[in-house]
């Protein structure tokens, strides 16, 4: 690499980072030198620095026995900042002012006992540490020693690949060792505008032919699906098209396909998600997960038994499985009802939809081709069918109504009336209760 570029990288570290990070990075290099440790910036931060992309996710590799923990403790002692050390794993985290953090790890090497297995980790040098990275563009390191500050270490040709905007693994068994790299590669294509090299596409196809994705644990596969389905807008549809053509979706489940209808619904769903976020509708549904709406769309054509098997493989929690295995048959009936009924009361919209997860309702909104149904679904999602009567149980008791299940019945009716605009004040609510229930309810229970 050209020396003038390395000098400019050093200057940019000082100029473009927030002050706490700009001060800490060279200080860590100086502290490491005094301890006899070699200190390097590594990973996606270095890649994005070269691409001039903002990235404050700082990873530092420390070469030397127990290097990361030793360096973090020494730096914390000097600078009086909070440090969390994990000696067992050879890692540490520095917590800096302004809610910034720096993650440190002692350099290590990895071996994989079997395809898709978790790696065995042993101490290693910086070259071995960089060799375990997923792609060459992520195997760059930036020296932090005072005498070599900003000098680039590129033993595997990452910088030329960065210039050519190409993605390449470091060795032929990389995708087989860790099939999650297939998902990351395809996401990088969309996020960074890079392309996999032809020989790496062949490696992916070979890995898929060996059915290696099936060996991943459900937890690891779910994490990759979650990250992938979190891509926004057209990047998501492009990613799913690529995954379908390469056979990655079939590697997850042979029945998964990104066919034209699924693509149509997914494209509209991205617009629906944007509307949902921009209008603040998401605030009505704590725990809403955009990626889950995309998963519901992607799995819409799976037969029920296949979907159950898919959910059991992926989802560790019953709550998550319930979202994946939602009542699709009832959802279809509700959508068709809304498509037919052009003038439907808010209370009925609420009663039809309130038991569905909001991610499924957004899917129904994206799926329907009828504007009347879309308006009804958006009314619910936007909170337009949410209403709470001003009357409460204490008021009903004062009217002489004996406490019991009838309270729930009355309050539900009052909610519907308010929703439909038939009552506007507490006085009107109480008058309605007197007219329809009356004092005779004292002896009802």
Residues 282, 370: one domain?
A: yes
**What is the tens place of the pLDDT at every residue in 271-323?**
999 999 888 888 878 889 999 999 999 999 999 999 999 999 987 788 888 89
Is residue 211 one of the residues assigned to a domain? no
Residues 13, 135: one domain?
A: yes
Nearest-Å Rg of the Cα atoms of the chain is 29
**What is the tens place of the pLDDT at every residue in 4-34?**
666 677 788 888 899 999 999 999 999 999 9
Is residue 52 one of the residues assigned to a domain? yes
Is residue 173 one of the residues assigned to a domain? no
pLDDT at 48 over 50: yes
Residues 439, 373: one domain?
A: no
Phi and psi at 92, nearest 5°, equal -155, 155
- Of 335, 363, 383, which marks where a domain is finished? 383
- The alpha carbon of residue 370 and the mean position of all alpha carbons in its chain are separated, in whole angstroms, by 31
CATH number of the domain bearing residue 266? 1.10.3090.10
**What is the tens place of the pLDDT at every residue in 50-71?**
999 999 999 999 999 889 999 9
The DSSP H or E segment spanning 386 is none
Token pair for 220: 């690891």
- CA-based end-to-end distance of the chain: 86
- Of 348, 383, 418, which marks where a domain is finished? 383
Under the banding of pLDDT at 50, 70 and 90, the label for residue 386 is: low
Residues 42, 163: one domain?
A: yes
pLDDT at 441 over 60: no
Residues 11, 135: one domain?
A: yes
Full domain range(s) for residue 119: 3-167
In terms of DSSP bridges, do strands 120-123 and 108-111 run parallel, antiparallel, or are they unpaired? Answer: antiparallel
Q: How many whole angstroms separate alpha carbon 266 and alpha carbon 240? A: 10
- Of 167, 198, 220, which marks where a domain is finished? 167
Say how many domains are in the chain: 3
Residues 153, 12: one domain?
A: yes
For residue 6, what are the contacts with CB-CB under 8 A and spacing of at least 6? 150, 151, 152
pLDDT of the residue at 438? 66
Least confident window among 29-33, 220-224, 384-388: 384-388
**What is the tens place of the pLDDT at every residue in 191-212?**
999 999 999 999 999 999 999 9
Taking residue 236's Cβ as centre, other Cβ atoms within 10 Å add up to 23
Is residue 25 one of the residues assigned to a domain? yes
Q: Is 29 exposed, middle or buried (0-12, 13-18, 19+ CB in 10 A)?
A: buried
Residues 275, 342: one domain?
A: yes
CATH number of the domain bearing residue 111? 3.30.460.10
Residues 274, 411: one domain?
A: no
């Amino acid at each position: 690499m050209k020396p003038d570029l390395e000098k400019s990288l050093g200057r940019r570290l000082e100029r473009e980072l927030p002050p706490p990070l700009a001060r800490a990075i060279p200080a860590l290099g100086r502290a490491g030198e005094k301890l006899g440790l070699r200190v390097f910036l590594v990973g996606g931060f270095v890649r994005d620095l070269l691409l001039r992309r903002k990235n404050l996710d700082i990873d530092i590799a420390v070469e030397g026995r127990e290097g990361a923990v030793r360096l973090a403790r020494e730096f914390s002692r000097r600078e009086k900042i909070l440090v969390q050390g994990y000696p067992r794993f050879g890692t540490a985290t520095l917590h800096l002012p302004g809610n910034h953090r720096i993650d440190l790890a002692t350099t290590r090497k990895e071996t994989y006992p079997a395809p898709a297995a978790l790696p065995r980790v042993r101490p290693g040098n910086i070259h071995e540490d960089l060799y375990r990275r997923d792609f060459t563009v992520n195997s760059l390191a930036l020296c932090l020693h005072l005498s070599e500050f900003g000098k680039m270490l590129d033993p595997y040709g990452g910088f030329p690949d960065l210039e050519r905007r190409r993605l390449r693994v470091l060795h032929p068994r990389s995708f087989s060792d860790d099939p999650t790299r297939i998902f990351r590669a395809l996401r990088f294509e969309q996020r960074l505008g890079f392309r996999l090299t032809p020989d790496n596409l062949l490696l992916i196809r070979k890995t898929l032919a060996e059915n290696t994705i099936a060996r991943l644990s459900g937890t690891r596969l779910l994490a990759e699906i979650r990250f992938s389905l979190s891509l926004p807008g057209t990047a998501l549809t492009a990613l799913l098209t690529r995954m379908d053509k390469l056979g990655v979706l079939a590697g997850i489940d042979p029945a998964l396909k990104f066919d034209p209808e699924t693509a149509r619904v997914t494209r509209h769903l991205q617009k629906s998600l944007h509307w949902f976020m921009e209008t603040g509708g998401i605030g009505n549904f704590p725990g809403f997960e955009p990626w889950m709406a995309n998963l519901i769309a992607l799995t819409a054509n799976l037969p029920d038994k296949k979907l159950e098997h898919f959910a059991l493989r992926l989802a560790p929690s019953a709550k998550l499985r319930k979202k994946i295995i939602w009542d699709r048959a009832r959802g279809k009936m509700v959508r068709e009802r809304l498509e037919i009924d052009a003038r439907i009361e808010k209370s009925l919209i609420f009663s039809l939809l309130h038991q569905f997860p909001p991610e499924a309702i957004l899917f129904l909104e994206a799926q329907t081709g009828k504007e009347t149904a879309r308006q009804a679904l958006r009314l619910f999602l936007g909170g337009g069918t949410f209403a709470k009567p001003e009357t409460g149980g204490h008021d009903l008791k004062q009217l002489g109504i004996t406490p019991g299940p009838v309270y729930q019945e009355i309050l539900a009716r009052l909610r519907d009336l308010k929703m439909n605009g038939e009552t506007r004040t507490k006085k009107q609510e109480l008058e309605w209760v007197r007219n329809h229930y009356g004092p005779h309810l004292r002896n009802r229970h």
